[in-house]
Amino acid sequence: MSTASRVAWINDSYTKMTKYNFFSRVNWGRFSVVAVPYLWLAIFFFIPFVVVFKISLSEAAIAVPPYSSVLDWNLEEAYITVKISLSNYLFLLEDDFYVSAYLSSIKVAAISTFFTLLVAFPIAYLMARTEGSTRALLLALVILPFWTSFLLRVYAWMGLLKKNGLINETLMSMGLIDQPLVMMQTDFAVYIGIVYTYLPFMVLPLYSALEKMDMTLLEAAEDLGARPYQSFFLVTLPMAMPGVIAGCLLVFIPAVGEFVIPALLGGSDTLMIGRVLWDEFFLNRDWPMASAVAVVMLIILVLPIMLIRNGQGKEGAA
């Protein structure tokens, strides 16, 4: 390359660089649309979480706020101390109480999710199969309970389930039972409450998955010799799987941390992590311990989701 052409080339590249620099290439309109929700998440989720995580590494103290500081510095004497305490986490593992609270929460959430799926699937299936105004009506019926207060609905269940509640009264007057059934303050009541409350979160993703399904697939399965129940398990269910996964996550995750339903419907022996968290904060005033409980709960919930998403991503790429 001659000097002249080299100079020309450099000049050319330079104009190209200035012409297509970063700032002119970023679509600022699009960027800001995406940035707003992320900023929201950062301010109201990520930063508070970091604060909670920091508190979980401190120790309870009689002070305001009631915990020791992790980071201490003194500029005059030029020192910074970082004091990280893992005792809260160790205590979580050592004490059976917390471990069993976690396990019990997961158990309650898992069983409730399963039953929610069982109840929601036929509803979603029917909605996906009907047309026009009937479909709109069914959809409205699913969403309608959201229009009344969540607490009100749980209290309504108390009225139904209690000793002299509507269910017991009816059964006794029909002569089917002579002793009232004990339904309140049991795990059963908690399951009912969770299934009832979270049903729409399961129905809607299932419905959207089933609605997209091509009906001729079922005809094809039948044509190839599949009985209706086989068609269901071999075609409908796999096709609805994205909806099943989404719905189960939407029910399972909040159910693990559920506090109100077990507190109102469950008994004293219904041990759930949401309640433990409440007690640590408000009864024991042990903020660091409560924070550690919260952090571990988040990890327990996030890990399986990440594994599922990772698995889905791989399948999609294959």
Q: Which residue ranges make up the site for other proteins (CB under 8 A)?
A: 214, 216-217, 219-227, 230, 234-235, 238-239, 241
Which is nearer to other proteins, 83 or 212 (by Cβ)?
212
In the chain, the amino acid numbered 64 is V
Distance CA 109, CA 131 (A): 34
Which is nearer to other proteins, 77 or 223 (by Cβ)?
223
Q: How far is the CB of 306 from other proteins (least distance, A)?
A: 23
Which is nearer to other proteins, 29 or 225 (by Cβ)?
225
Which is nearer to other proteins, 156 or 224 (by Cβ)?
224
Which is nearer to other proteins, 26 or 224 (by Cβ)?
224
Please check whether residue 209 is in contact with residue 243, taking contact to mean a CB–CB distance below 8 angstroms. yes
Q: How far is the CB of 225 from other proteins (least distance, A)?
A: 4
The token pair at 199 is 């049903």
Integer-rounded Cα Rg, in Å, for the chain is: 28
Q: How far is the CB of 234 from other proteins (least distance, A)?
A: 8
Neighbours of 57 (CB within 10 A): 21
Residue with tokens 């009631």: 66
Which is nearer to other proteins, 81 or 312 (by Cβ)?
312
Q: How far is the CB of 250 from other proteins (least distance, A)?
A: 22
Please check whether residue 242 is in contact with residue 208, taking contact to mean a CB–CB distance below 8 angstroms. no
Q: How far is the CB of 133 from other proteins (least distance, A)?
A: 18
Which is nearer to other proteins, 19 or 227 (by Cβ)?
227
Which is nearer to other proteins, 72 or 214 (by Cβ)?
214
Q: How far is the CB of 227 from other proteins (least distance, A)?
A: 6
Q: How far is the CB of 223 from other proteins (least distance, A)?
A: 5
Q: How far is the CB of 64 from other proteins (least distance, A)?
A: 58
Distance CA 170, CA 210 (A): 38
